[in-house]
């Protein structure tokens, strides 16, 4: 794979991972745009790992709170948050395992990406517009965590957006926009970590030096762009809504559908 291709993938992934616009959907569309072969799941997950490192740095206070709370025991709020994230993660890991071995290649389709981006983008817009804005992460129940976790399963459909669908679920339950985004990022950590671990084992088995170098470059570039993207989005949500992202998804999805069905 050329270095230009890797840079393009890493930059797109870093910018879109924690925005509700579907980073995986954009990655699937890249070969169509560049006229190249699909970069494959290994590079896709590598750039996700770079984004994971970025979110861990941005949310380090929450992560430290969870670790210390877990050490203190079940009565600590940090322990409660840890358990909520575990509950929210179980369903996506189980469903992701099934997809990896049975249906992954079937759904990596530009048409599916376009339809999912459009449809779930509209749902995000409706829920964000009508949803209450009164709850924070500290108000979250285990039931809410389970509901948001189950919503993540839809993100296995490329174009849905993991952050988008979990933010949609959180907003439907009445959580503030920034809080919905924070919890979305937090529950993304174990999911991306699990995928990253699986791909690392694949790299070890393949013993492909060039592929490993490509993956490491992708991790580094996506890290820096993801961290910048997170900071900008969270500052935006202090005084604004998800409306621009909804409009982008509608234009992205409808534009691709027009192009794909005409060719």
Torsion of CA 69, 180, 51, 237, to 10 degrees: -120
User: Per-residue confidence at 214, pLDDT binned at 50, 70, 90?
Assistant: confident
Helical (H) or strand (E) element with 140: none
Distance CA 189, CA 212 (A): 22
Report which of residues 2 and 73 the model is more confident about. 73
Please report, for residues 19, 137, 164, 183, the alpha-carbon distance to residue 239 in angstroms, rounded to integers and kept in the order given: 16, 19, 19, 19
Entry pTM: 0.85
Q: At what angle do helices 142-151 and 162-172 cross, to 10 degrees?
A: 140
Structure tokens at 207: 């013993």
CA distance 50 to 55: 9
Please check whether residue 51 is in contact with residue 12, taking contact to mean a CB–CB distance below 8 angstroms: no
In this predicted structure, what is the pLDDT of residue 104?
53
DSSP alpha helix (H) spans, 73-172: 77-102, 104-107, 110-130, 142-151, 162-172
Q: Which structural domain range is residue 148 located in?
A: 3-262
pLDDT over 90 percentage in the chain: 44
In tens, the pLDDT along 79-120 reads 999 999 999 988 887 877 766 655 555 566 788 889 999 999
> What are the pLDDT digits (tens) for 114-142?
999 999 999 999 999 998 888 899 889 99
Mean pLDDT, the chain, rounded, equals 84
* Gyration radius (Cα) of the chain, Å: 18
Please tell me the predicted confidence (pLDDT) of residue 34: 67
Looking at residue 135, the DSSP 8-state letter turns out to be B
More reliable by pLDDT, 201 or 134: 134
In the chain, the number of structural domains is 1
Average pLDDT over residues 164-170: 95
Q: Report the candidate in 174, 184, 186, 161 with the shortest Cα–Cα distance to residue 246.
A: 161
């Amino acid at each position: 794979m050329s270095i230009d291709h890797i840079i393009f993938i890493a930059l797109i992934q870093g910018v879109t991972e924690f925005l509700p616009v579907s980073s995986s959907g954009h990655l699937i569309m890249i070969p169509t745009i560049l006229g190249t072969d699909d970069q494959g799941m290994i590079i896709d997950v590598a750039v996700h790992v770079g984004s994971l490192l970025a979110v861990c740095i941005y949310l380090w206070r929450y992560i430290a709170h969870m670790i210390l709370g877990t050490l203190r025991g079940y009565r600590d709020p940090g322990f409660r948050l840890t358990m909520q994230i575990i509950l929210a993660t179980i369903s996506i890991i189980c469903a992701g395992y099934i997809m990896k071995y049975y249906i992954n290649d079937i759904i990596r389709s530009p048409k599916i990406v376009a339809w999912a981006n459009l449809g779930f983008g509209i749902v995000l817009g409706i829920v964000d517009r009508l949803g209450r804005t009164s709850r924070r992460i500290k108000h979250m129940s285990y039931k809410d965590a389970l509901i948001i976790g189950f919503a993540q399963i839809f993100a296995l459909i490329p174009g849905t957006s993991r952050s988008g669908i979990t933010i949609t679920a959180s907003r439907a339950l009445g959580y503030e926009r920034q809080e919905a985004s924070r919890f979305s990022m937090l529950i993304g950590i174990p999911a991306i970590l699990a995928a990253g671990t699986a791909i690392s084992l694949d790299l070890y088995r393949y013993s492909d030096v060039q592929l490993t170098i490509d993956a490491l470059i992708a991790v580094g570039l996506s890290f820096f762009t993801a961290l910048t993207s997170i900071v900008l989005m969270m500052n935006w949500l202090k005084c604004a809504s998800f409306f621009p992202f909804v409009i982008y998804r509608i234009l992205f999805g409808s534009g691709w559908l027009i192009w794909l069905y005409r060719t």
